[in-house]
Structure 1
Amino acid sequence: MNIRNICLKSACLGALAFAMVSGTAFAGALDSPDNMAPFFTDSGMKTMKPMEEFKSAFKAMPMERQEAMKKECNDAAMSKPYAEFCANVQALGGAN
């Protein structure tokens, strides 16, 4: 019984360590404040920039980041919390 408890604790600690180490891998491009900040006028990221400024900020990003954002915006589950942002991405040709 003691060995069983030790193994269970080890498995839980291992899973917790894995989740902590790989946690950033689960975060998407839309979850990163560094990626999203250029599209908003305020530090709280509540007010989006006008479309012309949005377009300039989007085009200034590396292509890999643009593609990651387009991909996440095409995923219905991922895009739901970012509906307004994703609508702008779609308007820029994000539905590839």
Structure 2
Amino acid sequence: MNLRPILFGALALTTLGGEAFAGALDSPAMMAPFFTDAGMKTMKSKAKFKAAWERMSKRDQDAMMRECQDAAMSKPYAEFCAELKPLGGANK
């Protein structure tokens, strides 16, 4: 059995598909509207946070809420998810 094509295929899938496995909370483009700085360390005020949420598509909102409800995924984003949960509950 020739393992070389299998290994190269697996490598290609992990390299090319890595972005597909990243979630909404891992996406800088999705998260940037909620932060005041480029390093995404300081969240915007509640009013601006809510305005950024309302500008998002329903699909993106659902993806973020789903990830915030997953305990393992939300752990590194606990502060963000705490701000997001009240907003998502009002839209459901």
Per mean C-alpha deviation after superposition, the further-off stretch among 11-20 and 64-73 is 11-20
Q: Matches of 2:29 and 2:67 in 1, distance apart?
A: 16
- TM-score, normalisation: structure 1: 0.87
Counterpart in the other structure of 1:93:
88
Cα distance, 1:94 vs. partner?
4.1
Matches within 5 A, 1:1-96: 7-94=2-89
Cα distance, 1:56 vs. partner?
0.5
Distance 1:94 1:25, change over 3 A: farther
Identity %: 59
**Aligned amino acid, residue 66 of structure 1:** Q
Q: Does the CA-based 8 Å contact 1:73-1:94 persist in structure 2? A: no
Cα distance, 1:10 vs. partner?
2.1
Q: Mind listing any 5+ residue stretches in structure 1 that lack a counterpart? A: none
Q: Does the CA-based 8 Å contact 2:25-2:67 persist in structure 1? A: yes
Q: Mind listing any 5+ residue stretches in structure 2 that lack a counterpart? A: none
How many residue pairs are counted as aligned between the two chains? Answer: 91
- TM-score, normalisation: structure 2: 0.90
Q: Secondary structure at the match of 2:3?
A: helix
Q: Greater CA radius of gyration, 1 or 2?
A: 1
